[in-house]
Chains A and B, each alone.
Chain A
Amino acid sequence: MFNSFYIAWKYITYNKMKTATLVACITLISFLPMALQLLLNESEKQLMSRAVSTHLIVGAKGSALDLVMNTIYFGDEVPELITMEASGQIMESGFALPIPLYARFKTRGSPIVGTNLDYFEFRDLQVAEGRQIAVLGDCVVGAKVSERLDLNPGDSLVSSPESLFDLAGIYPLKMKVVGVLEKSHTSDDLAVFVDLKTAWVIQGLGHGHQDLTQLNDPTLVLKKTESNVAATAKLYHYQEITKNTIDSFHFHGDLSAYPVTAVIVVPQDSKSGTLLQGRYLQKEEIHQIVKPQEVIEGLLQNIFRIKNVLDTVISVVAIATIMAIVLVFALSLRLRQREIQTIFKLGCRKATVVRLVSAEIFIIVLTSGVLCGAMIFLVNSYSHELVRRLVIR
C-alpha cells in the first residue's frame, strides 16, 4: 500500500497544474455550501438574539428593515428622522420607557450613537475602564472600538464629516473618551456612545462660540438689538468641549423638535406593549412601531429563500464539476494507456493499477478535504465579523 501511495504522490507532485486544478475544484465545491450554511446560521444567531431582546421600536414611516437595522445594529442606512416629541409621547402614555437613539454620525469608521443612560441599563452594558458619560462632549467606546483604535479613557475622538465636499457644513467635534465598555459580543462593541445632546452638537444644532457681548470687533456683529445679537460668519465656533468652553455651548429652539433616528420602547408589560402598538395604527400617525423580531424573521425568510436558490445553483455546479472531474480522470487514464501498458509489462497486476489510481484520487480528495476544513475553520473563526460586514453592515 505504501508503494502505491508513493508512486501516486510522485505522479501528483509532478503534474502540479492538473493536481492544483482538481484540488481547487473539489475544495471549492465542498467549501461553498458548508461556508454558506455556517454564515447563515451565524446570521440567524446574531440577528435574532439582538432582535428578540429589543421589544419594540418607534421610528418614521418607511422601511421597517432600515429602521430595525439602524436601531439595533447601527447599520449604515439611516432611516427617516423623527423628533424627540415621539419619545415624549411614549413617556406620557405611561405604557413604556422610551430610549431615544440618534445613530447617524460616524467616527473613524465606527458609528456614533447618541442616547441616554437608560440605554446602558437596558442593554446591561457595564463600563470596564473609566466612567460613564456625564457631560457634553464625553463618549464611551465599545470594547472592539477600543481595541481597533487603541483608545483608552483620556484619549480623544473626532467625529467624521458626513460629506467631504460640504464646505458650508458643520465642523467635526472633538470628543473626550471617558470610558470603555465591557465586551458584550454585540453591535455595542463596535459603537461609540455619546449623550443625545452631544450628537446634536455634532450635527450643529447645538454650538459654542465666542461671547459676542464681550467682543468689540464690529466685523463680528451683523445686527444688534437689546435682546438679540446676530453674528457674522467670522465668529469662531468651538470644536472641542472643554471646561473653558462648555458654558458657551447652547441649543436654540425647542429640544422636543430635535431629531432622533428611533426610539426603543421598553413596555411595562405585554399588555402595555399591545396598547401602545394600537396607538400607532391610525392613518394620520406619522410614526410606525415595529417588532424587531418580526422584521428580522422576515429578513431571514428572504435570506433562506435566496439560500435555497443558491443551494440549487451550487448542486447543479457540483454535479457538473463532479462530472468534469470524472471526465478528467477518464481522459487521463486514456492518455496514460501507454504508461499503464508499461507497468503491466514490468509485471504489475490489474489490481495494482486500480490501487495506484485509487491512491491518486484519495490523495487529491484528502488534500481538498484538508484545504476545505482549513477554510471552514477560518470562516468559522471570522464568521461573527463576516456576518457583520456582509449581512448587517
Chain B
Amino acid sequence: MITIRGLEFHYPTGEFNLNIPDFSVTKGSKVAVIGPSGSGKTTLLNLIAGIFTPLRGSLVVDATTVSELPDTGRRDFRVSNIGFVFQDFELLYYLNVLDNILHPYRITNALSLNRDVRSRAAVLAQQMGIGTMLKRHASDLSHGEKQRAAICRALLPQPKLILADEATGNLDPDNKSRILDLLFQAVEDHDATLLAVTHDYELLKRFNRIIDFRDFQQTEHNCHQIQNV
C-alpha cells in the first residue's frame, strides 16, 4: 500500500531532517506510529498525504507515485484516496458539525455531495456519539467532540488509506476504545489501511504493526532516519 525509497525531507527553516531509506506498509495493515514529540511522525503523515513534497526519493501509495505528482494531482489523489485525522482537528469554527463533516465535498470537485452521503454522515456521527450535535457550531464543541467530528470527516469518503494523527489523544478510555473500533471497522469494511500516530501505549496491542521513531538511527544534525520495526 505504501512504499518509500530513499525519501529525504527538511523544512525550509530549522535543522530538522527526515530521512527514510526504505519503508513499506502492506494493504489492510493497522500500523501504529509512536515516538517522542518532534521526531517527525506528523511530517511523515503529511508526506504520505501529499501535503508536503519530499526533496528526494520516491513515495508510492496504492500504486501511485505520489512524490512525482504535481500539486493538483497530489491534491486530487488525497481527496479521493486518503482520510486524514489532523492532530489539531482543523475544523472550521463557523460551520456546524454536519457542515464540517461534509466540508470536503463542498470544496472539491473530486467528491460529490448527495443524499446518500448526507445520510452516511448522520449515521457515522451517530456511531461516533455526536449524532445529537450535528447542528452545533464547531466552536461550541469540547475537545473530544471536535476530535470525533474530525474523524467523521476523514472517514466519510470511505478512503483506502486512513492517516490518524493522535486521533484518540483527547478521549476518555471508553471513547478511545470506541473510536479505535470505528477506525478498525472502517479499515475492514473498505479494505483500507490505517497509519495512526499515537502516544497511547495501552492501545498498541490492538495494532498489527508498530513503528517506533525512537529506534531510528540518529545521524548528525538531529537527522531522523526510520526503519521498519
A and B interact: yes
Report the 7 A-B pairs with minimum CB-CB distance, sorted nearest first.
A14-B94, A347-B79, A3-B106, A348-B107, A342-B90, A347-B108, A346-B104
Nearest-neighbour CB distance to chain A for B150, whole angstroms, equals: 10
Q: How far is the CB of B140 from chain A (nearest CB, A)?
A: 11
Closest to A350 in B: B71
Task: Please give the distance in Å from B81's CB to the nearest CB on chain A.
Answer: 11
Rounded to whole angstroms, the CA-CA distance of A390 and B99 in the bound complex is 51
A345, A347, A352: residue with the most chain B Cβ atoms closer than 10 Å: A347
Contacts of B55 in A (CB 8 A): none
In the complex, which residues of chain A have a beta carbon less than 8 angstroms from the beta carbon of B84? 345
Q: A11-B94, A345-B90, A352-B108 known; 12 other A-B pairs, CB under 8 Å?
A: A7-B99, A7-B106, A10-B94, A14-B94, A342-B86, A342-B92, A345-B51, A346-B153, A347-B75, A347-B78, A349-B75, A349-B108
Does B118 lie at the interface of the complex (its beta carbon under 8 Å from any beta carbon of A)? no
Q: B161 to chain A: closest CB distance in Å?
A: 14
Contact A347 B104, beta carbon cutoff 8 Å: yes
0/1 per residue, A326-364, Cβ < 8 Å to B? 000000000000010011111111001000100000000
Whether B137 is near chain A, meaning CB under 8 Å from some CB there, is yes
Interface residues of B (CB under 8 A from A): 49, 51, 72, 75-76, 78-79, 84, 86, 90, 92-95, 99, 103-104, 106-108, 110, 113, 137, 153
Which A residues are CB-close (under 8 A) to B104? 346-347
Chain A residue with minimal CB distance to B46? A345
A344 to B104: give the CA distance in the assembly, Å: 10
With A347-B108, A349-B72: A339-B92 Cβ-Cβ less than 8 Å: yes
Interface residues of A in 155-199 (CB under 8 A from B): none
Most buried by A among B51, B86, B103: B103
Residues of B within 8 A of A3 (CB): 106-107, 113
- Does A236 belong to the interface (CB within 8 Å)? no
Size bin of chain A's contact surface: 10 to 19
> In whole angstroms, how far apart are the Cα atoms of A342 and B153 in the complex?
13
Beta-carbon nearest neighbor of B76 in chain A: A347
Report the minimal beta-carbon distance from A159 to chain B, rounded to whole angstroms.
Answer: 64
Residues of A contacting B49 in the complex (Cβ-Cβ under 8 angstroms): 345
Q: Within 8 Å CB of B153, what residues of A?
A: 346
Chain B, Cβ-Cβ closest to A12: B94
A282 at the interface (CB under 8 A from B): no
Q: Is A6 an interface residue (CB 8 A)?
A: yes
Contacts of B93 in A (CB 8 A): 14
Measured between beta carbons, the chain B residues less than 8 angstroms from A344 are: 75
Of all chain A residues, the one with the shortest Cβ separation from B75 is A347
Task: Assess the B107–A347 pair: CB atoms within 8 A.
Answer: yes
Residues of A within 8 A of B76 (CB): 347
Least CB distance from B117 to A in Å reads 13
Interface presence of A15 (CB below 8 A): yes
Contacts of B110 in A (CB 8 A): 347
Given the known interface contacts A10-B99, A14-B137, the answer about A346 and B107 at a Cβ–Cβ threshold of 8 Å is yes
A-B contact pairs, 21 of them (CB 8 A): A6-B106, A7-B107, A10-B95, A10-B99, A11-B94, A14-B137, A339-B92, A343-B107, A344-B75, A345-B84, A345-B86, A345-B90, A346-B107, A347-B75, A347-B79, A347-B107, A347-B108, A347-B110, A348-B75, A352-B107, A352-B108
Given A7-B107, A10-B99, A352-B107: A346 touches B90 (CB 8 Å cut-off): yes
Interface string of A232-273 (1 = CB under 8 A from B): 000000000000000000000000000000000000000000
Q: Known contacts A10-B99, A14-B137; decide if A348 and B108 are in contact (CB<8 Å).
A: yes
What A residues does B79 contact at CB under 8 A?
Answer: 346-347
A355 to chain B: closest residue by CB: B107
Q: B105's closest neighbor in chain A, by CB? A: A3
* Bound CA–CA A7/B107 (angstroms): 9
- Identify which of residues 1-21 in chain A touch chain B, using a CB-to-CB cut-off of 8 Å: 3, 6-7, 10-11, 14-15
Contact with B along A11-41 (1 / 0, CB 8 A): 1001100000000000000000000000000
**Bound Cα distance A108, B171 (Å):** 75
Which residue on A lies nearest to B157, using beta carbons? A347
- Shortest beta-carbon distance from A332 to chain B in Å: 12
Interface centre among B78, B84, B90 (most CB of A within 10 A): B90
What is the bound-complex CA distance between A349 and B84, given in angstroms? 17
Instruction: Give the docked Cα–Cα distance between A339 and B90 (Å).
Output: 8
Give B106's nearest chain A residue, CB to CB: A3
A65 → B minimal CB distance (Å): 57
Expressed in whole angstroms, the minimum distance between the Cβ of B106 and any Cβ of chain A is 4
Q: Is the CB of B95 within 8 A of A7?
A: yes
Looking at B72, B95, B99, B107, which has the most chain A CB atoms within 10 Å of its CB? Answer: B107
Q: In the complex, what residue of chain B is closest to A15 when comparing beta carbons?
A: B94
CA distance A6 to B49 in the complex (A): 27
Distance from A3 Cβ to chain B, minimum over Cβ atoms (Å): 4
Chain B residues with CB below 8 A from A15, complex form:
94
Q: Which residues of B contact A6 (CB under 8 A)?
A: 106
In whole angstroms, how far apart are the Cα atoms of A10 and B137 in the complex? 10
Query: Distance in Å from the Cβ of B53 to the closest Cβ of chain A?
Result: 13
Which residue of B has the minimal Cβ distance to A345? B51
CB distance from A333 to the nearest CB of B (A): 15
Complex Cα spacing A348 to B75, Å: 8
How far is the CB of B181 from the nearest CB of chain A, in Å? Answer: 25
Tell me the minimal C-beta distance from B125 to chain A in angstroms.
18
Q: Which residues from chain B contact A11 at a C-beta distance below 8 Å?
A: 94
Residues of A within 8 A of B86 (CB): 342, 345
Residues of A near B99 (CB, < 8 A) are 7, 10
CA–CA, A349 to B106, complex, Å? 12
How close is B69's CB to chain A, nearest CB, in angstroms?
13
Residues of B within 8 A of A345 (CB): 49, 51, 84, 86, 90
Chain A nearest Cβ from B92, distance in angstroms: 6
